[in-house]
Amino acid sequence: MPNNRTRKTPFRAPTGAPTRRPRGATPEPVPSVVEEVAAEPKVRAPRGAPTDSSKRGRHKELPGKPERLHKLLAQSGVGSRREMEELIAAGRVNVNGETAQTGQSASPGDRIKVNGKLVHLKFSNRLPRVIIYHKPEGEIVSRDDPDHRPTVFTSLPKMSGGRWVAVGRLDFNTSGLLLFTTSGDLANRLMHPRYNLVREYAVRILGELPDDAKQRLLDGIELDDGIAQFATFQEAGGEGANHWYRVSLFEGKNREVRRMFEAVGVVVSRLMRVRYGPFMLPPNLKRGQVLELGESDVKKLIADFDMENPAPDRPSHKSRER
């Protein structure tokens, strides 16, 4: 169970995207999905919450037309389009009892199995779901963990058919904003480097950071997997021996923020992600709680990423809270 005690974290919702970008990066406009979803959400803890299937009108499918199988599997949350193409080529996808072929299409009513397991397909006329989750420390972003640690997926709303796809990851001891969607295609676009989406963090360290170390972090630090640099670096106060900073960068390598501070001789004692692209962590979204985007915000997000819009005659839907 997540610990919902309030902690003092000196960060404020950012007023604009950082202007500094990594060397050699080709910036593209950050999608402008409505950010007021982070303003005043109504939330409640997801665990144990009853699910009323009669209120899920927007998730009922309308008649759809045939679509490419690998695309359908991706937007149904099974994996990326490339991964689905590889599964089809390997003969691990079955359509109506027969092995699927590369480039094959599927229609509503077809029975699709991946690795022998039946998959509930989401056609393009079905609007994907997108949620913001305030991840606490002590949860892993994985469904399979050999150490059997708590996983974020047990805190998410339950679904019959399909699954939640994580947009990036946060490590076990990092908290903050984590995005999930039912569309593998949308998740891949949110993570793709060409969209240059900013990641912003509140960082607490023990002791003070010398000015020259700060400049090194802005200029670029050589890590095992290449050069890493912060786009912005701001002091955010602190008490006693603890000092807080707010930093941003435009990529999401494994433990990148922690490794960058370690490279200049400083250990991070607490790390929280407060922004991912156009999404900000709502101030009153407590740890372990979920906020689901409303239909209009999801449609705008899809349009910003040049994805095909679902059928316009979908039932109206307001933001869901859990």
Phi-psi region of 26 (alpha: psi -120 to 50; beta: other; left: phi over 0): beta
Beta bridge partners of 246: 202, 234
The angle formed by the CA atoms of residues 317, 321 and 322, to the nearest 5 degrees, is 140
CA distances from 150 to 50, 72, 174, 176, 202 (A): 21, 30, 14, 16, 23
Strands (E), 221-289: 221-223, 226-228, 232-235, 242-249, 268-276, 279-280
Q: Please report the DSSP string for 76-136 in residue order.
A: TTS--HHHHHHHHHTT-EEETTEE--TT-EE-TT--EEETTEEE----TTSPPPEEEEEEP
CA distances from 207 to 179, 235, 239, 266, 270 (A): 32, 13, 10, 8, 13
Q: Give the tokens for residue 219.
A: 């200029």
Which member of 110, 147, 171, 225 is catalytic? 171
Active site residue 171: yes
**Which DSSP category does 56 fall into?**
-
Tell me the residue type at 287: R
Nearest to 159 by CA among 198, 131, 125, 132: 131
Burial environment of residue 50 by CB neighbours within 10 A (0 to 12, 13 to 18, 19 or more)? exposed
Known catalytic residues?
A: 171
